[in-house]
């Protein structure tokens, strides 16, 4: 082998000279014996697999020779009605001749047949989604030649494998047919594993397979190797559009237009008996990120067998053992193992990342069949990125870009133990990640009561409303049968960092009977349930969870990210607890403190309702007086938690009807408090009803028509600020006015705030109060210049801005938006990632006009988009000062902001 490797290095230099200038029109890229037309950087052209096969060949590693048909051909193939262009076939034949020369065997030759693998490989990894055919080139004739040279058993084992794979992938014969046949032969001869089948058994299996194909397709199995090759290439191109691949691309946002490449490669055999094996290895532990070589292999087997799980694989070394008592590769084939380890180290250094390697050993000789960036858990991703910096393979800014910010979400929440089998009852939308385990409860009150008694509960509802807040707080997780990713339950749960599955249509709740019917089972209150908010799975019983540790590596990486980013990150927090969590996660202030959540607490909501239903100013002022001290203490708690950091408090925003009593009990209770009758209360509630509350009497409109509400809130904020400042704590209050559409609204309310501030703080205000507005109405964005005259800051409320600009109701979009995305009409849910060309354009206008009117205007964004990596990048590019997101998303935003800054260099 060393001669080959040396030849390889020499060859690669020549190879580069030969390909120069011609690469543009090339559609077939040869690799083998140290030379390769392609290289690792040509992923788009060659697919990931092809590009890395070429690169490994250039590195002089032992890779079976072959060629890659470029992704561009996939397009020609589809447009040409499913035919491989003749020119490509000609180029392929020329490349095949080179493979034959290297291997010293001929494709289709009855004496010494060359066998091929035909492998898919797209620019973006789609593991297991597309097809591969192995052992191609076998026929009734060539199998005899192979048997002659390499043994009967091996030849027939290869032939039956080929007939099955070709039958399945190319001819569309259901693979169960083959499996059933194999099983019955195994049973008949009393073999528990395929390896126990003899040559005669395998010959019989193959003959039966050929019959299965004839019966299913009505034609004999193709016996002509060139025809086999052409049809296999076509099938791999077609597999780009198989249902599973299409669905996978939708789910992962991969473009359909990339297309797959096809790799045709000489077979090497791990199933030739003694000294043969096949396996996969990772250069580091993909679960923990530990620096240890890790992997599994099977003796006397072919690649597919390892993944298929038909036999228990053996560990490659002690580090990979995890309970297995089988001998390791290191013990069985020490020389091969050492060589594999050496190559693994080399590949990792070369690619500067953890690699996932496929290898095969044919009669003691090691072959590399694939290398790619290894998939890893979030914990491992962070650990590896940091370690690679320490090992001088990466610079810090590169390491920061190695971790997918969205992955951090999972790092911060407990997850289900991956080693436990899941009995999935149903699947909903994965609205908020992490695992939750607890007893089923059907109402917020029961949730609260049971949680107070120390029980862990899962709140199960058709949907939730603001009235359920205390239940959401108390529960470990939330399951709803209706609603989408931006439904109330989803948004609130995400904000609280609670696992949540929404829109689980397969589950039925019977409120009266207090039962949940799902997956053919009926569960009652108190029964155990497990939710996986990361996958949307709902499972019966209590599954064990694991809490990921935020070790030193995480802190270190985040520290690097913080030094790189320009965009600041604040958190949305309505309670001191959330404020503290956000701060622990690195928030640099509060960008949104919603005051209405404080109103929903059961003890307060009565006073809130009195305030709303008041018919005179006096009544309203009296009710507000009850709320003022509680609001003040809420704010004081938050200011204390955020010592030294800015806190943006938004004045009351939602339409008042949201606070109103819903049922007879609540109406009676309120009537008593108001000293009137239920009928009177009901009449007043009806009078408040609006046709279109989201566009109705809400936000600053309330502050203008009922100034005493905002006056009370301003006083509570400033008294809290003064109180806390007296304790030696640094307070930076910011008051934010919601739903401003016209500059006069803000001018008027700014005057109100200033007036109240003067009353509270006197003429020597030692507290620097800033006043600003949400930009969430399209008109406000367009007239940002005029609005900036009264604003110290803008904060984009992109939830409402999206809703209003898109004429898309957040609460109803679930009915058609998933279909829109499925059909490709929209690429992303605009409530998840900012619609850059529409809503983003309005933001651009507002930034420009706002800053032109006032250079020192602070610009931020609050809302769900603040924790979405793509939207964070956009905010960075837009030049915002900060984004604000729910506490658990703060690290995501920090990392995404750093990546945006690095990407700009
Ligand atoms: P996937 O993309 O699903 O991993 P691959 O193209 O890598 O599919 O092939 C599937 C299996 O076949 C792998 O285990 C691989 O190692 C094996 N295989 C592919 N090409 C060859 C070959 N030339 N010789 C031996 N085994 C091969
Ligand atoms: Mg593979
Ligand atoms: Mg809003």
* Residue 261 in contact with ligand 1 by CB distance below 6 A: no
* Residue 303 Cβ < 6 Å to ligand 1: yes
Compute the distance from residue 358 Cα to the ligand 2 centre, in Å. Answer: 7
Q: Where are the beta strands (DSSP E) in 182-276?
A: 261-266
Q: What's the confidence (pLDDT) of residue 16?
A: 39
Q: Confirm or reject: Cβ of 370 under 6 Å from ligand 1.
A: yes
pTM of this structure = 0.81
Measure 697 CA to ligand 3 centroid, in angstroms. 13
Q: Kindly report the CA angle at 835 between 834 and 838, in degrees rounded to 5?
A: 135
- What is the distance in A from the centroid of ligand 2 to the CA of 582? 42
Which residue blocks in 706-742 are alpha helix, DSSP H? 707-725
* Strand 261-266, strand 66-69: pairing: antiparallel
Instruction: Determine if ligand 1 sits within 6 Å of the CB of residue 35.
Output: no
pLDDT value for 765: 61
The contacts of residue 747 (CB under 8 Å, 6+ apart) are: 789, 790
CB 267 near ligand 1, within 6 Å: yes
Ligand with the closest atom to the CA of 796: 3
Q: Annotated catalytic residue: which of 413, 473, 488, 876?
A: 488
Mutate to test the pocket of ligand 1, among 161, 369, 373 (most ligand atoms within 8 A of CB): 369
The ligand 1 atom nearest the CA atom of 64: 23
Predicted confidence at residue 548, as pLDDT, reads 66
Place of tokens 């499925």: 822
Q: How far apart are the CA of 225 and the centre of ligand 1, in A?
A: 19
Which run of H or E residues covers position 651?
Answer: none
Per DSSP, the residues of 886-904 read: -GGGHHHHHHHHHHHHHHH
268 lines ligand 1 (CB under 6 A): yes
- Whether 572 lines ligand 1, by a CB cut-off of 6 Å, is no
Nearest CA to 11 out of 39, 32, 38 is that of: 32
* Pocket mutation for ligand 1, best pick of 105, 128, 358, 373 (most atoms within 8 Å of C-beta): 358
For ligand 1, is residue 304 a contact (CB within 6 Å)? yes
500 is catalytic: no
Ligand 1: which of 119, 138, 281 to mutate, judged by most atoms within 8 Å of the beta carbon? Answer: 119
**Residue ID of nearest Cα to ligand 1 atom 17:** 303
Give the distance (Å) from ligand 2 centre to CA of residue 389.
Answer: 28
Q: What is the Å distance from ligand 1's center to 340 Cα?
A: 17
Q: Is 638 left (phi over 0), alpha (psi -120 to 50) or beta?
A: alpha
Q: Which of 401, 593, 700, 862 is catalytic?
A: 862
Cα(131) to centroid(ligand 1), Å: 10
**Closest C-alpha residue for ligand 1 atom 27:** 303
In testing the pocket of ligand 1, which one of 31, 116, 134, 355 has its CB within 8 Å of the most ligand atoms? 134
Q: 369 CB less than 6 Å from ligand 1? A: yes
Q: In Å, how far are 418, 631, 730, 839 from 781, measured between CA atoms? A: 47, 31, 33, 10
**132 C-beta closer than 6 A to ligand 1:** yes
Backbone angles phi, psi at 452, to 5 degrees: -60, -35
In this structure, are strands 424-427 and 355-362 parallel, antiparallel, or unpaired?
unpaired
Residue identifier of the C-alpha nearest atom 12 of ligand 1 = 303
Exposed, middle or buried by CB within 10 Å (0-12, 13-18, 19+), for 190?
exposed
Give me the residue label for tokens 């997101």. 885
Task: From 235, 236, 310, 370, give the residue whose CB has the most ligand 1 atoms within 8 Å, as the site to mutate.
Answer: 370
What's the CA-to-centroid distance between 224 and ligand 2, angstroms? 27
Asked if residues 122 and 47 have their Cβ atoms less than 8 Å apart, the reply is yes
Give yes or no for residue 34 CB within 6 A of ligand 1: no
CB 85 within 8 A of CB 31: no
Between CA 871 and CA 893 the distance in angstroms is 9
119 lines ligand 1 (CB under 6 A): yes
E strands in 337-490: 355-362, 365-373, 415-416, 424-427, 429-432, 435-441, 457-461, 477-480
- CA pair distance 121, 259, nearest whole angstrom: 9
- The packing angle between helices 839-853 and 798-806, to 10°, is 120
Mutate to test the pocket of ligand 1, among 99, 132, 136 (most ligand atoms within 8 A of CB): 132
Known active-site residue 876: no
**Which protein residue has the closest C-alpha to ligand 1 atom 19?**
117
Indicate the helix (H) or strand (E) that contains 57. Answer: helix 43-58
Report yes or no: 830 and 874 within 8 Å, Cβ to Cβ. Answer: no
* DSSP element (H, E) containing 186: helix 175-189
The ligand that comes nearest to the alpha carbon of residue 653 is 3
Q: Match 């493979």 to its residue by tokens.
A: 99
> Is any ligand 1 atom within 6 A of the Cβ of residue 64?
yes
Atom 24 in ligand 1: residue holding the nearest Cα:
267
What span, in angstroms and rounded, lies between the C-alpha atoms of 304 and 132?
10
Other C-beta atoms closer than 10 Å to the C-beta of 620 total 19
Give me ligand 3 centre to Cα 797, in Å. Answer: 6
In the sheet with 132-136, reading across from the earlier edge strand, the strands are: 35-36, 28-32, 66-69, 261-266, 116-121, 132-136
Instruction: Using the structure block, give the residue that is written with the tokens 């400033």.
Output: 718
**So what's the pLDDT on residue 559?**
97
Burial string for 108-124 (b: 16+ CB within 10 Å, else e) reads beeeebbbbbbbbbbbe
Stretches in the chain below the pLDDT threshold 50? 1-23
Ligand nearest to the CA of 279: 1
Q: Is the CB of 137 under 6 A from ligand 1?
A: no
Pocket flag, ligand 1, residue 158 (CB < 6 Å): no
Cα separations (Å) of 731 from 591, 640, 723? 14, 8, 10
Compute, in angstroms, the gap from residue 839 CA to the centroid of ligand 3: 14
Q: Is 128 in the pocket of ligand 1 (CB under 6 A)?
A: yes
> Contact at 8 Å (CB) between 553 and 457?
no
pLDDT of residue 594: 93
Cα–Cα distance for residue pair 125/669, rounded to 1 Å: 61
* Closest atom of ligand 1 to CA, residue 130: 3
Please give the Cα distance from 888 to 408 (Å, whole number): 9
Does the Cβ of 134 fall within 6 Å of ligand 1?
yes
Q: How far, in Å, from the CA of 303 to the mean position of ligand 1?
A: 6
What is the residue with the minimal CA distance to atom 8 of ligand 1? 132
Q: Does residue 726 line the site of ligand 1, with CB under 6 A?
A: no
Q: Distance, CA 889 to ligand 2 centroid (Å)?
A: 34
């Amino acid at each position: 082998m060393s001669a080959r490797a040396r030849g390889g290095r020499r060859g690669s230099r020549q190879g580069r000279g030969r390909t120069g200038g011609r690469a543009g029109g090339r559609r077939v890229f040869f690799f083998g014996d140290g030379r390769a037309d392609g290289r690792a950087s040509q992923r788009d052209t060659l697919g990931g697999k092809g590009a890395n096969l070429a690169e490994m060949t250039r590195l002089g590693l032992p890779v079976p020779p072959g060629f890659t048909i470029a992704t561009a051909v996939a397009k020609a193939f589809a447009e040409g009605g499913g035919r491989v262009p003749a020119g490509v076939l000609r180029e392929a034949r020329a490349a095949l001749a080179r493979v034959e020369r290297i291997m010293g065997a001929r494709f289709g030759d009855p004496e010494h047949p060359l066998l091929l693998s035909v492998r898919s490989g797209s620019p973006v990894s789609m593991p297991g989604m597309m097809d591969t055919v192995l052992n191609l080139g076998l026929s009734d004739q060539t199998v005899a030649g192979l048997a002659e040279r390499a043994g009967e058993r091996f030849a027939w084992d290869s032939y039956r494998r080929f007939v099955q794979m070709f039958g399945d992938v190319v001819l569309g014969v259901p693979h169960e047919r083959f499996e059933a046949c194999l099983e019955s032969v195994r049973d008949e001869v009393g073999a528990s594993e395929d390896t126990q089948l003899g040559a005669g058994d395998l010959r019989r299996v193959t003959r039966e397979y050929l019959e299965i194909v004839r019966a299913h397709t009505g034609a004999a199995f193709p016996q002509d190797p060139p025809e086999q090759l052409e049809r296999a290439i076509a099938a791999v191109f077609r597999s780009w559009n198989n249902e599973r691949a299409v669905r996978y691309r939708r789910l992962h946002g991969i473009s359909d237009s990339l297309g797959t490449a096809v790799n045709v490669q000489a077979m090497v055999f791990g199933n030739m008996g003694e000294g043969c094996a096949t396996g996969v290895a990772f250069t580091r532990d993909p679960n923990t990120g530990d620096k240890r070589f890790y992997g599994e292999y099977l003796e006397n087997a072919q690649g597919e067998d390892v993944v298929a799980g038909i036999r228990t694989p053996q560990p490659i070394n002690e580090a990979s053992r995890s309970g297995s008592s089988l001998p390791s590769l290191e013990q069985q084939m020490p020389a091969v193992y050492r060589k594999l380890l050496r190559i693994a180290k080399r590949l990792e250094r070369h690619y500067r990342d953890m690699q996932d390697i496929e290898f095969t050993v044919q009669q003691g000789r090691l072959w590399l069949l694939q290398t790619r960036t290894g998939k890893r858990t979030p914990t491992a991703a962070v650990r590896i990125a940091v370690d690679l910096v320490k090992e001088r393979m990466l610079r810090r800014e590169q390491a920061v870009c190695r971790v997918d910010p969205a992955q951090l979400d999972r790092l911060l929440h407990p997850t289900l133990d991956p080693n436990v089998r899941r009995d999935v009852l149903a699947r909903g939308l994965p609205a908020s990640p992490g695992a939750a385990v607890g007893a089923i409860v059907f109402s917020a009150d029961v949730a609260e009561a049971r949680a107070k008694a120390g029980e862990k509960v899962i709140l199960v509802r058709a949907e939730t409303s603001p009235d359920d807040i205390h239940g959401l707080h108390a529960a470990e997780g939330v399951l709803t049968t209706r609603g989408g990713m931006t439904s109330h339950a989803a948004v609130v749960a995400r904000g609280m960092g609670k696992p949540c599955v929404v829109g689980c249509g397969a589950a039925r709740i019977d409120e009266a009977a207090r039962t949940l019917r799902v997956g053919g089972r009926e569960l009652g209150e108190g029964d155990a349930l497990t939710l996986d908010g990361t996958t949307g799975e709902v499972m019966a019983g209590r599954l064990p969870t694991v809490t990921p540790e935020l070790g030193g590596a995480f802190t270190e990486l985040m520290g690097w990210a913080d030094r790189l980013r320009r965009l600041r990150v604040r958190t949305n927090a309505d309670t001191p607890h959330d404020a503290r969590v956000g701060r622990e996660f690195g928030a640099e202030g509060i960008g949104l403190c919603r005051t209405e959540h404080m109103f929903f607490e059961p003890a307060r909501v009565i006073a809130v309702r009195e305030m709303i239903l008041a018919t005179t100013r006096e009544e309203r002022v009296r009710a507000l007086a009850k709320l003022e001290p509680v609001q003040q203490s809420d704010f004081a708690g938050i200011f204390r938690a955020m010592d030294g950091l800015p806190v943006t408090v938004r004045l009351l925003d939602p339409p008042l009807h949201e606070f109103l009593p819903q049922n007879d009990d609540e109406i009676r209770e309120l009537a008593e408090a108001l000293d009137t009758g239920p009928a009177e209360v009901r009449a007043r509630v009806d009078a408040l009803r609006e046709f279109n509350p989201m566009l109705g009497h809400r936000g600053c409109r309330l502050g203008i028509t009922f100034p005493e509400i905002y006056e009370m809130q301003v006083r509570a904020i400033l008294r809290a600020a003064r109180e806390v400042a007296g304790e030696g704590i640094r307070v930076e209050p910011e008051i934010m006015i919601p739903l401003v559409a016209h500059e006069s609204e803000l001018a008027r309310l700014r005057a109100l705030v200033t007036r109240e501030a003067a009353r509270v703080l006197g003429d020597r205000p030692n507290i620097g109060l800033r006043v600003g507005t949400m930009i969430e109405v399209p008109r406000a964005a367009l007239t940002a210049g005029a609005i900036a005259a009264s604003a110290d800051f803008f904060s984009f409320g992109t939830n409402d801005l999206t809703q209003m600009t898109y004429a898309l109701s957040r609460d109803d979009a679930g009915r058609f938006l998933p279909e829109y995305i499925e059909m490709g009409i929209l690429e992303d849910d605009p409530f998840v990632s900012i619609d850059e060309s529409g809503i983003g354009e309005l933001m651009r206008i507002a930034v420009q006009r706002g800053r032109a009117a006032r250079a020192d205007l602070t610009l931020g964004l609050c809302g769900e988009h603040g924790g979405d990596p793509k939207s964070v990048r956009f905010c960075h590019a837009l030049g915002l000062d900060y984004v604000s997101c729910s506490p658990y998303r703060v690290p995501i935003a920090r990392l995404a902001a750093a990546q945006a800054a690095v990407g700009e260099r």
